[in-house]
Structure 1
Amino acid sequence: MTQSHPLLQVRDLRVQIGERTVLESVSLDVAAGSLIVLMGANGSGKSTLGMALAGHPNYHVTGGQALLAGQDLLALEAHERARAGLFVSFQSPPDIPGVKNNLFIRTALNAQREARGEEPLDAFDFLASAKQSAQALGLPQAMLGRPVNEGFSGGERKRNELLQLSLLKPRVALLDEIDSGMDVDGVRAVVTLLARLRSEGVGVVVISHYLQMIEQLEPDSVLRLDAGRIAETGDVELARSIAQTGFVRPREAVEA
């Protein structure tokens, strides 16, 4: 499913929050149709990577490069990065009071379609597609007409992120603990959706510690982030090893 030329190329990315350097040097490639699992202890910089790539103003890139389909991602404003095809989920999706869920997603989708030179979707066509996707993800259709995430449970917020992902169909998706707060059916929905998106050429990075889901995702590679650097690279066996021993890794395991 992967291609020789990565969709997303990150080279020696360095990021500060305030006066503190969180990412010392991170490099990775995300190819079309590939799935990478990113693991790491709390504070290792996993969420920082996503927020920096998304263009969050509190995350200051001090060096390095990030290319999305050959385009300089770091030179773009946050909304331009989304239009270019980058999707970054929130670890804790916020409420947006007063903005209906279906209007929010349709506006985002039509902004992307405009950037690609496509005609916008009207409310009728969009709603039919949104209802179908919501049903597949186990999200009650009534929530399409409610303000974004207002009164949603943790699992419903994550399913709503999946709904956005399903409808926006980005080039690259970085999902920050998308399984958090999910029940068994929710995790199954994550696995099913990501398998479909990969078959359509979407590159995916999943931040997770949940071994059972990681095994079901069948990742191309597993990366361990430590102190702002990629400390280990492996396959699903690395995830299994971390699940057994934790993030404090014996030297011989890292060298192997």
Structure 2
Amino acid sequence: MSTLEIKDLHVSVETEDGPKEILKGVTLTITSGEVHAIMGPNGSGKSTLAYSIAGHPKYDITSGSVTLDGEDVLAMSVDERARAGMFLAMQYPVEVPGVSVANFLRTAKTAIDGEAPKLRTWVKDVNGTLERAGLDPTFSQRNVNEGFSGGEKKRHEIAQLELLDPKVAILDETDSGLDIDALKVVSDGVNRFAEDDDKAVLLITHYTRILRYITPDHVHVFVAGRIAESGGPALADELEANGYEKYVGAAV
């Protein structure tokens, strides 16, 4: 069992007018076997939370703590966080020209496990994973995210999730820009991962449509850098019906 514990997290970014506080005291505990959905309007700080946990240098942690199984995540480098069992699927995956998907996946797996995967089984594992993500085996010879459609980028991240096998998956708007077919494939991948009671998912989204395919255990409304309310799946239905207006108004 694993536990990601975020306590009173405050995060700022540097702007032309000086530091601006984005996260204003976020407290959240995620344990193995749970799917947590964070929902909120644009600019509420959802992506800042994801990137801060992952270690993006743009974000300055001014106070608070993040631990994974009792270990101080904020004291770790980005690669140490990955080896500890954390995974981030980015809202806008970056292109890596000149690096094939095959080389990228094998290099990442080697770095995380501390040893290279056995080649005779690795190719089979990769091809099977790509197939489950709705991708042709020849996809592995393409450069990472170069010329990929939005759906291909997100399917590729689901393939990474399966192959790298983290403890905690942080998925930042992994439904962004997906058509219905790609949304179902991505949702199936997340559900396969979440079926393992040793895994945990933090799913960040604007919309409830992905929650028609992934049933969260907990839903959190994120507004103005804070969690405004938490509940079960019914809270997502309320947001679908009424939007964020009452929470935004209360935060002003």
Q: Are the equivalent residues in 2 in contact too, given 1:37–1:206 (CA < 8 A)?
A: yes
CA RMSD of aligned residues (A): 1.9
What CA deviation, in whole Å up to 9, does each residue of 1:60-81 have, x standing for no partner? 1111010112111000001110
Deviation at 1:179, TM superposition (A): 1.1
Q: 1:251 to 1:159 in 2, by over 3 A?
A: closer
Residue of structure 2 equivalent to 1:110: 110
Q: Which runs of 5+ in 1 are unaligned?
A: none
Residue of structure 1 equivalent to 2:214: 217
**In structure 2, what is the Cα distance between the partners aligned to 1:145 and 1:192?**
24
Paired positions, count: 246
Q: Are the equivalent residues in 1 in contact too, given 2:224–2:248 (CA < 8 A)?
A: no
What CA deviation, in whole Å up to 9, does each residue of 1:162-214 have, x standing for no partner? 11111111000110111112222222222222222122221001111332321
**In structure 2, what is the Cα distance between the partners aligned to 1:209 and 1:244?**
14
What is the DSSP-based 3-state SS (H/G/I as helix, E as strand, rest coil) of the residue aligned with 1:249? helix
What residue identity is the alignment partner of 1:51? Y
1:95-244 equivalent positions in 2, closer than 5 A: 95-114=95-114, 119-200=115-196, 201-244=198-241
What is the DSSP-based 3-state SS (H/G/I as helix, E as strand, rest coil) of the residue aligned with 1:217? coil
Candidates 4, 16, 19, aligned match of 1:8: 4
Q: Are the equivalent residues in 2 in contact too, given 1:139–1:159 (CA < 8 A)?
A: yes
What residue identity is the alignment partner of 1:25? G
Q: Which TM-score applies when normalising by structure 1?
A: 0.91
Residue of structure 1 equivalent to 2:87: 87
Residue of structure 2 equivalent to 1:63: 63
What residue identity is the alignment partner of 1:183? D
Q: 1:235 to 1:215 in 2, by over 3 A?
A: farther
Q: Are the equivalent residues in 2 in contact too, given 1:215–1:236 (CA < 8 A)?
A: no
Q: 1:113 to 1:135 in 2, by over 3 A?
A: same
What residue identity is the alignment partner of 1:138? G
Q: Are the equivalent residues in 2 in contact too, given 1:175–1:207 (CA < 8 A)?
A: yes
Q: 1:145 to 1:13 in 2, by over 3 A?
A: same
Q: Which TM-score applies when normalising by structure 2?
A: 0.92
1:18-57 equivalent positions in 2, closer than 5 A: 18=14, 19-57=19-57
Deviation at 1:253, TM superposition (A): 10
**In structure 2, what is the Cα distance between the partners aligned to 1:176 and 1:161?**
11
Equivalent pairs: percent with the same residue? Answer: 40
Deviation at 1:252, TM superposition (A): 11
What residue identity is the alignment partner of 1:62? T
Q: 1:65 to 1:251 in 2, by over 3 A?
A: closer
Deviation at 1:237, TM superposition (A): 1.5
Deviation at 1:251, TM superposition (A): 9.6
